[in-house]
């Protein structure tokens, strides 16, 4: 159906990504569960379909240009548009026990490959389909650890969380969000960054303060904003965060 909203969530085969797919589908959005391994994406999509949810598997390796191109072609053929893009895929490969200057350059490179360059590449590739939406939404999953303001404040909760490559990569995502939001300011497309919260996931070894269900809420809420919603914001459950 042409009036049906189509969403795509990257990095959706685990944790916050899978839950974001679930919650968008529960809201009535036909949601593409994108993952690097097709078998895993299909398995999860079938489970959600069994719950009566409108979910579809999509193979997408965000770090592979050919994979991105094939995914764009598949979405074009099946749906002809994209209403919501949630750039959720991300990695954290640094050892928090190491000092910032001791983090190897390879960790910086791999972190930026996935957390920054892949976000830009996927967004650029799917933007033509988002332009065909009557109200496109791009949600970039960032982190409060991107906040330069809070990192400079000894009284802030994140002051001691100096994971330099990851933090810098999410700050770059925020900067990209602002640039793209500016470019698209006179279109129906809105671009925003969100902090999911300190969520218990595989990425942080199960540490965290909130569950995955709550961790997906910021992405889902920003995906579903109406025409009066923000553009170029950085929020957590609607609360504006400092850059």
DSSP state of 116: I
The one catalytic residue among 5, 81, 166, 198: 166
For residue 203, what are its two tokens? 């990425």
Q: Residue 191 is inside which H or E element, if any?
A: strand 190-194
Q: Which residue has the tokens 């967004």?
A: 123
Residue 211 binned pLDDT confidence (cut-offs 50, 70, 90): confident
How far apart (Å, rounded) are the C-alpha atoms in residues 167 and 143?
8
The one catalytic residue among 170, 190, 198, 200: 170
Query: What are the tens digits of pLDDT across the range 114-133?
Result: 999 999 999 999 999 999 99
Give the start-to-end residue ranges of the domains of the chain: 6-240
Q: Which fold has domain 6-240?
A: Rossmann fold (3.40.50)
Known catalytic residue: 198? Answer: no
Would you say residue 170 has pLDDT above 70? yes
Residue 3 binned pLDDT confidence (cut-offs 50, 70, 90): confident
Distance set, CA 214 to CA 19, 95, 115, 206 (Å): 9, 26, 22, 15
What is the average pLDDT across 159-181? Answer: 98
Please tell me the pTM assigned to this model. Answer: 0.95
Known catalytic residue: 81? Answer: no
The DSSP result for 47-114, as a single string, is HHHHTT--EEEEE--TT-HHHHHHHHHHHHHHHS--SEEEE------S-TTS-GGGS-HHHHHHHHII
How far apart (Å, rounded) are the C-alpha atoms in residues 176 and 119?
9
How far apart (Å, rounded) are the C-alpha atoms in residues 217 and 24?
10
């Amino acid at each position: 159906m042409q009036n049906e909203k189509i969403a795509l969530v990257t990095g959706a085969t685990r944790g916050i990504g899978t839950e974001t797919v679930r919650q968008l589908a529960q809201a009535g959005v036909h949601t593409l569960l994108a993952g690097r391994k097709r078998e895993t994406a299909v398995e999860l999509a079938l489970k959600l379909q069994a719950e009566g949810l409108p979910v579809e598997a999509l193979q997408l390796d965000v770090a592979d240009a050919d994979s991105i191109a094939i995914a764009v072609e598949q979405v074009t053929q099946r749906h002809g548009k994209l209403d919501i893009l949630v750039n959720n895929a991300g990695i954290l490969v640094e050892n928090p026990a190491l000092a910032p200057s001791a983090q190897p350059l390879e960790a910086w490179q791999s972190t930026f490959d996935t957390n920054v360059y892949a976000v830009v590449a996927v967004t650029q590739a799917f933007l033509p389909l988002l332009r065909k939406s009557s109200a496109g939404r791009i949600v970039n999953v960032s982190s409060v650890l991107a906040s330069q303001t809070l990192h400079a404040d000894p009284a802030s909760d994140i002051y001691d969380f100096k994971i330099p490559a990851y933090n810098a990569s999410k700050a770059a995502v925020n900067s990209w969000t602002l640039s793209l939001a500016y470019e698209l300011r006179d279109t129906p497309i809105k671009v925003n960054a969100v902090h999911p919260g300190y969520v218990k996931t595989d990425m942080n070894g199960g540490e965290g303060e909130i569950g995955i269900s709550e961790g997906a809420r910021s992405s889902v809420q920003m995906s579903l904003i109406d025409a009066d919603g923000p553009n170029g914001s950085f929020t957590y459950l609607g609360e504006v965060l400092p850059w």
